[in-house]
């Protein structure tokens, strides 16, 4: 049995569709209930719905053989897994944003609000810029508005949240998309099955391109 951790939510639904189109369907997953585990014995596949930021934990520790999560999570937590395929969905970018009138006084420590402390630290370390990280868990856009921070480092997808809060992107750090990740020992012991799934997904990625 191949255990697959899928990110709960809109991205997860699209990702499941891609697995189904690749031949790994599990119709019971579409039933409207609160169940978290679904399996298709005939296809030897079992899906779990997991909080998106937890997918890499399940995969790294082997509770799931494979999973799908955003590149943002991989850059932030640097889990010890193999990243084997870019699914070319869930596309967005990691960016620095601020109020429109923000002026960066480089003599001062920059106050950076973010959920992605590691990504932000690395980004500013590469520019030798002194920063003070303010770790938040959501609604990051509030921070510069209330003068809790000078800038934010956050995901920008459509740009609507920034626009509606009078903020703007001042720098893109890295493009983000969903990735297929694999537990290292599963890759060793279930190579054939995992490569078959990856190949099926790769064909879907190419078809959707
Ligand atoms: C994410 C991100 C931005 C928003 C960007 O937040 O943190 O707030 O989406 O999307 P947009 O560019 O399409 O507006 P999420 O919805 O995950 O909620 P959060 O506030 O809890 O981080």
Cα of 165 from ligand 1 centre, angstroms? 12
Per DSSP, which regions of 108-149 are E strands?
Answer: 110-114, 131-135
Residue nearest to atom 22 of ligand 1 (CA): 138
Atom in ligand 1 nearest the alpha carbon of residue 156:
12
Which is the closest atom of ligand 1 to the Cα of 164? 14
Cβ(95)–Cβ(114) below 8 Å: no
Residue closest via CA to ligand 1's atom 2 equals 155
* Contact status, residue 26 vs residue 40, Cβ threshold 8 Å: yes
76 C-alpha to ligand 1 centroid (Å): 16
pLDDT in tens, the chain (209 residues): 999 999 999 899 999 999 999 999 998 888 878 889 999 999 999 999 999 999 999 999 999 999 999 999 999 999 999 999 999 999 999 999 999 999 999 999 999 999 999 999 999 999 999 999 999 999 999 999 999 999 999 999 999 999 999 999 999 999 999 999 999 999 999 999 999 999 999 999 999 88
For ligand 1, pick from 93, 156, 165 the residue to mutate: most ligand atoms within 8 Å of CB. Answer: 156
Instruction: Quote the Cα angle for 88-54-44, to 5°.
Output: 70
C-alpha distances in Å from residue 190, one per residue of 32, 67, 149: 32, 14, 47
pLDDT of residue 27: 87
pLDDT number for residue 50: 95
């Amino acid at each position: 049995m191949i255990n697959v951790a899928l990110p709960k939510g809109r991205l997860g639904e699209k990702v499941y569709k891609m697995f189904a189109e690749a031949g790994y369907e599990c119709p019971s997953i579409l039933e409207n209930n609160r169940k978290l585990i679904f399996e298709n014995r005939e296809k030897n596949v079992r899906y779990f719905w997991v909080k998106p930021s937890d997918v890499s934990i399940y995969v790294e520790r082997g509770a799931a053989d494979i999973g799908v999560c955003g590149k943002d999570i991989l850059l932030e937590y640097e889990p010890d897994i193999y990243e084997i395929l870019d699914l070319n969905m869930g596309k967005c970018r990691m960016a620095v944003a601020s109020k429109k009138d923000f002026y960066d006084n480089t003599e001062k420590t920059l106050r950076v609000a973010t959920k992605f402390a590691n990504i932000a630290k690395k980004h500013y370390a590469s520019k030798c810029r002194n920063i003070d990280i303010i770790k938040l868990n959501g609604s990051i856009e509030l921070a510069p508005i209330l003068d809790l921070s000078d800038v934010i480092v956050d995901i920008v997808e459509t740009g609507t949240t920034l626009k509606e809060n009078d903020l703007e992107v001042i720098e893109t750090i890295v493009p983000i998309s969903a990735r297929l990740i694999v537990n290292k020992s599963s890759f060793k012991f279930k190579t054939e099955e995992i490569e078959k799934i990856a190949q099926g997904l790769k064909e879907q990625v190419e078809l959707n391109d």
